[in-house]
Amino acid sequence: MPAPWIDISRPVQPGMAVWPGDPATRFERVQDLAKGDACTVTRLSMCVHAATHLDAPSHFLPDGKDMTAMPIETGIGRARVIGIENAKAVTAAELAGHGVRKGERLLFQTANSQRLAAPGPFAEDFVSIAEDAARYLAEKRVRLIGVDYLSVGGFHDDGAATHRILLEAGIWLLEGLDLSGLSPGPVELVCLPLRLVGTEGAPARAVARQLARRDRRA
CA atoms within 13 Å, Cβ hemisphere of 82: 22
φ, ψ dihedrals at 77, nearest 5°: 140, -165
> CA of 36: how far to CAs of 27, 31, 40, 160, in Å?
19, 9, 10, 49
Q: What residues does 7 pair with on adjacent strands?
A: 207
Which residue in 49, 53, 59, 163 is the catalytic one?
59
Q: Are 12 and 47 in contact (CB under 8 A)?
A: no
Known catalytic membership, residue 53? no
The residues carrying an active-site annotation are 59
